[in-house]
C-alpha cells in the first residue's frame, strides 16, 4: 500500500539521522497518487485538542447519506460558537442489503457537510431495494477517531439493522454503544432538551435489549451499567 511504501521510504531515507513529522508526511506523499495532501490530512489531527463529532442522516428514497462534522465538546457555549475547525476525516463505511451482501465505501470528508450517493453501489444488489432492508456501519471496524451520531430515525434504523442481523463485529458493537453514551453525555451536559436525552436513552435501552440475548457479549456490560446508572440518577433527582 501507499502508506507502507511511504514508511519504507522514510525509514530508508532517515535511518541514520534525525527526522521531523514533515519528513514522514513528505515520504508518504511521494508514494501516493497525489489525490490529497498528507500534510493537510494529518495537521488537524495532531494540532487540535478535540476530535470530530460526526452526524449522520440517511435519505432513503434517494439513497444518499449526509455527513456533517463539528468539533466534539461538552461545553455548550463553546460548541455553539462559529468554529471553523474541520478535519479531513477518512471514512470506511459498510453499506449492505439484508440477505444480498454489502460493499465497502471509502471517502475523505473535508467539508462541514457532505452528501454521499449510495445508489451506484446499492444497485449492484438489484433495482427493487427496500429502504428498510438497508443497513449501515459508518466506521468499518470502528477504526475512526471520532464520535458518530445517527441523527435521524432512518439512519438509526439502518445501524440497528446491522446490529440485529449480526453484521456488526464485537468491536463495532462496542464502538456503537460507546458513541451512544458519548451522545447522551453531550446532550445532557450541553443542556439540550429533555426529549433529546430521553430519545438517546431509549436508543441505548434498545441496544441492551438486543444484547440481552447473550450477556457474554463484551458490549452488554458497559451498555447495561450505563442504563442502570442513568435510572438511579433519574430516580435520585426525582426524590430531590
Phi and psi torsions of 57, nearest 5°? -135, 155
Half-sphere CA count of 40, side-chain side, radius 13 A: 11
Half-sphere exposure at residue 32, Cβ-oriented, CA atoms within 13 angstroms:
15
Residue 138 Cα distances to 89, 94, 107, angstroms: 12, 6, 11
Where residue 181 falls (left for φ over 0; alpha for ψ -120 to 50; beta otherwise) is alpha
State how far the Cα of 84 lies from the Cα of 190, in Å rounded to an integer.
19
Per-residue confidence (pLDDT) for residue 217, from 0 to 100: 92
Give pLDDT, residue 192: 65
Mean pLDDT of residues grouped by 10 in the chain (240 residues)?
91 93 92 81 85 91 90 63 77 90 90 90 80 89 91 93 94 95 82 78 93 90 91 66
Query: What's the whole-model pTM score?
Result: 0.84
Which H helix or E strand runs over 206? Answer: helix 194-211
Quote the pLDDT of residue 239.
47
Report the distance separating Cα 207 and Cα 222, nearest Å: 11
The whole-angstrom separation of Cα 50 and Cα 81 is: 15
Three-state secondary structure call for residue 83: coil
Q: Looking at residue 171, what is its pLDDT?
A: 95
Amino acid at each position: 500500500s501507499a502508506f507502507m511504501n511511504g514508511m519504507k521510504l522514510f525509514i530508508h531515507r532517515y535511518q541514520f539521522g534525525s527526522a521531523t513529522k514533515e519528513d514522514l508526511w513528505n515520504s508518504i506523499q511521494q508514494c501516493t497518487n497525489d489525490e490529497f495532501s498528507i500534510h493537510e490530512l494529518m495537521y488537524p489531527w495532531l494540532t487540535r485538542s478535540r476530535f470530530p463529532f460526526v452526524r449522520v442522516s440517511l435519505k432513503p428514497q434517494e439513497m444518499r447519506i449526509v455527513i456533517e462534522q463539528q468539533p466534539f465538546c461538552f461545553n455548550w457555549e463553546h460548541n455553539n460558537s462559529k468554529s471553523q475547525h474541520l478535519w479531513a476525516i477518512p471514512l470506511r463505511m459498510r453499506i449492505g442489503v439484508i440477505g444480498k451482501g454489502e460493499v465497502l465505501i471509502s471517502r475523505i470528508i473535508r467539508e462541514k457537510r457532505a452528501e454521499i450517493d449510495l445508489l451506484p453501489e446499492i444497485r449492484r444488489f438489484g433495482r427493487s431495494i427496500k429502504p428498510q432492508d438497508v443497513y449501515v456501519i459508518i466506521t468499518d471496524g470502528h477504526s475512526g477517531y471520532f464520535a458518530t451520531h445517527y441523527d435521524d430515525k432512518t439512519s438509526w434504523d439502518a445501524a440497528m439493522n446491522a446490529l440485529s442481523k449480526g453484521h456488526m463485529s464485537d468491536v463495532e458493537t462496542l464502538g456503537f454503544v460507546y458513541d451512544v453514551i458519548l451522545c447522551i453525555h453531550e446532550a445532557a451536559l450541553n443542556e439540550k432538551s429533555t426529549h433529546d436525552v430521553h430519545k438517546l436513552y431509549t436508543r441505548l435501552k434498545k441496544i441492551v435489549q438486543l444484547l440481552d440475548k447473550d450477556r457474554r457479549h463484551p458490549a452488554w456490560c458497559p451498555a447495561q451499567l450505563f442504563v442502570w446508572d442513568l435510572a438511579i440518577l433519574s430516580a435520585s433527582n426525582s426524590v430531590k
